[in-house]
Amino acid sequence: MKNVLHPMMAMAIVVAMADSQAQALTDPTRPPSAAAASPATQEEAAGMQLQSILLSSGRKVAVINGITVPLGGMVGEAKLVRISETQVVLKKGGETEVLKMYPGINKRPVKRTAARRGESK
d(CA 92, CA 47): 14
- For residue range 47-87, what is the model confidence (pLDDT) as tens digits? 889 999 999 999 999 999 999 999 999 998 999 999 999 99
CA 80 – CA 94 distance, rounded (Å): 13
Nearest to 49 by CA among 84, 81, 75, 77: 75
On whether residue 85 sits in a domain, the answer given is yes
The answer to whether 89 and 98 have CB atoms below 8 angstroms apart is yes
pTM tops 0.85, yes or no: no
67 inside domain: yes
Inside any domain, residue 3: no
CA-angle at 39, arms to 49 and 70, nearest 5°: 45
Model confidence pLDDT, tens digit, residues 20-41:
565 677 777 776 665 455 444 4
Full domain range(s) for residue 86: 47-100
Residue 8 lies inside a defined structural domain of this protein:
no
CATH number at residue 64: 2.30.30
Domains in the chain: how many in total?
1
